[in-house]
Structure 1
Amino acid sequence: MAEQSEQPGQAGQDAAAVRLLWGPPARPTRGPKPALSLEAIARAGIEVADAEGLAALSMQRVAGLLDYTKMSLYRYVPGKAELIALMIEHAVGEPPPPGEAPWRQQLTDWAHRMAEVLAAHPWVLDALSAPRLTGPRELAWLERVVAALDGQGLSGAERMDAAVLLVGHVRAIAAQQRQSREGSPEAEMLRALGGLVVAHAERYPALAAALAEPGDGRDNAFDFGIERILDGLAALIARRAGRL
């Protein structure tokens, strides 16, 4: 019985998010002509989350930044979950526009642009990990990947899987970079593991040999992963076209 009583509330929350993200701009249900915009509310929330993270976000904080009361803010946004959904939509913005570049260059540009968004708004990673309604702009990012691969001989499911692979890699590296105190996941891993591996080289000979090889000093994990994903897609496309 307890589970049944929670379902209508969740359904109502989802419906509110649908109206907020996908419906036409709505006026408050009561009171005078609206003086706030959803964009202004989202920007205020983003300001808090960018500076202090999602844990510091509240309807009260956002209302205070806008010089409104918390209760007046509820006339525009039903609650914190809907506020975060609105913030994600404004933070991610529009994806890179479609162009005439080959599919591989389009997806490379797409991945780098997404990485820039996550670096500018680290809290988005936390927000994206929770169940939520996808907004029009976030969905447009997936559309760009699928559209770039259109006409390459891949099935719809394969194009969707390619999008999932790219999104997963970009998010994983962004999460590592956020947690890295030095700003470089590879540098921090080498610092943390290097001494241990050297001290126990007989047990970890492959790691010891790999770490002993000179590198170029760059953090290549992001580009390496993107290139290998795209190499795999290129090989599959070539095989479908009979070139392999």
Structure 2
Amino acid sequence: MADGQWGAAVRLLWGPPVTPARGPRRGLTLEQIAVAGVGIADAEGLGGVSMQRVAGQLSVTKMALYRYVPGKAELVALMVEAALPDPAGGLDAALAGAGSGWRGGLGVWARELLAGYRAHPWLLDATVGARALGPREVGWLERALAALEGCGLSGAEAMDVVVLVTGHVRGIAEQERAMGGSGGVDEELGAVLAEVVRERGEAYPAVAAALGSVAGHGGQGQGQGLEFGLQRIFDGVGLLVERRGMA
């Protein structure tokens, strides 16, 4: 496997099972180590994870843990792989029920991705920047790109579409995490703005009018921000697909 900056993580994610070079032959598995890290991160966030904490969870010394995982960066890579649902399971089943068409498939993919961020909010911190990707994460990318096959987009354009959709999903997930829960961002933000408008509405007439419209329609509803953004992204991509004559 690859050497260099991410070589160790790539070998752990893609290589054969690790056997410690020193110490007893029978011991931990990478899955056990990753699951212990995920448990800590779920409870305390990524900042609570350390080699020492994970070793303590597994009732081994930190030095014993280093025989399997060389450092925290590699540990986090294993945790991401363990936390992401196997795309060959629920994601593929959801995609199979999406029917034909790239919009339906990519929409299902985006909603399943948001569910993953909601289940493990620390993934938002762990999946940024250049890093080693594991089989499951690459499998998720494969499904998204496969949904766009036959649209007439170049590979680079399809990748950009996936990045755009992922960015929107991450933005919603970040807002939900900041608000302390899932699905209630629109309502909580609306409540905050409503208080401002009540006191200073004359200074913000456009905001007041928008909030009045929302109230008149019974509120935006859970998930409205996600769906509205997805459909506008898809509308834009659809124009490009039509230009290529592939709609």
Same fold (TM over 0.5): yes
Question: Does the aligned pair in 1 maintain the 2:194–2:211 contact within 8 Å?
Answer: yes
Distance 2:73 2:63 in 1: 16
Distance 1:54 1:215 in 2: 39
* CA apart distance, 1:223: 1.2
Quote the RMSD (CA, aligned, Å).
1.9
Distance 2:58 2:192 in 1: 44
Question: Does the aligned pair in 2 maintain the 1:169–1:225 contact within 8 Å?
Answer: yes
Which residue identity is paired with 2:218? D
| CA deviation profile, 1:44-100 (whole Å, cap 9, x unmatched) | 100010011111111122112222221111111111111001101111132322646
| Corresponding residue of 1:137 | 136
Query: Normalized against structure 2, the TM-score is what?
Result: 0.87
| Corresponding residue of 1:28 | 20
| CA deviation profile, 1:211-230 (whole Å, cap 9, x unmatched) | 01123331310111112212
1:50 equivalenced with 2:42 (yes/no) = yes
List structure 1 segments (4+ residues) > 6 angstroms apart after TM superposition.
none
Distance 1:15 1:78 in 2: 11
Distance 2:163 2:65 in 1: 36
Which residue identity is paired with 1:144? R
Which residue, out of 224, 236, 242, partners 1:232? 236
* CA apart distance, 1:112: 1.0
Distance change (3 Å), C-alpha of 1:242 and 1:40: closer
Distance 1:242 1:19 in 2: 40
Distance 2:79 2:142 in 1: 20
1:171 equivalenced with 2:170 (yes/no) = yes
Distance 1:207 1:201 in 2: 8
Distance 1:161 1:130 in 2: 16
Unaligned residue ranges in structure 1 (runs of 5+): 1-10
1:216 equivalenced with 2:218 (yes/no) = yes
Distance change (3 Å), C-alpha of 1:26 and 1:94: same
Which residue identity is paired with 2:234? L
* CA apart distance, 1:175: 0.6
Distance 1:50 1:56 in 2: 9
Distance 2:75 2:188 in 1: 35
| Corresponding residue of 2:73 | 81
Which residue identity is paired with 2:6? D
Which residue identity is paired with 2:229? G
Which residue, out of 14, 19, 37, partners 2:6? 14
Moved more, 229-238 or 69-78: 229-238
| Corresponding residue of 1:119 | 118
Distance 1:68 1:121 in 2: 25
| Corresponding residue of 1:8 | none
Question: Does the aligned pair in 1 maintain the 2:10–2:132 contact within 8 Å?
Answer: yes
Which residue identity is paired with 1:155? S
* CA apart distance, 1:160: 0.7
1:192 equivalenced with 2:192 (yes/no) = yes
Question: Does the aligned pair in 2 maintain the 1:49–1:57 contact within 8 Å?
Answer: yes
Distance 1:55 1:38 in 2: 20
Distance 1:124 1:160 in 2: 21
Question: Does the aligned pair in 1 maintain the 2:152–2:246 contact within 8 Å?
Answer: no
Distance 1:90 1:18 in 2: 14
Query: Normalized against structure 1, the TM-score is what?
Result: 0.88
| CA deviation profile, 1:13-34 (whole Å, cap 9, x unmatched) | 5221121112222211112213
1:159 equivalenced with 2:161 (yes/no) = no
Distance 1:68 1:152 in 2: 52
Distance 1:215 1:130 in 2: 40
| Corresponding residue of 1:3 | none
| CA deviation profile, 1:181-231 (whole Å, cap 9, x unmatched) | 464221221122222234333332211111011233313101111122122
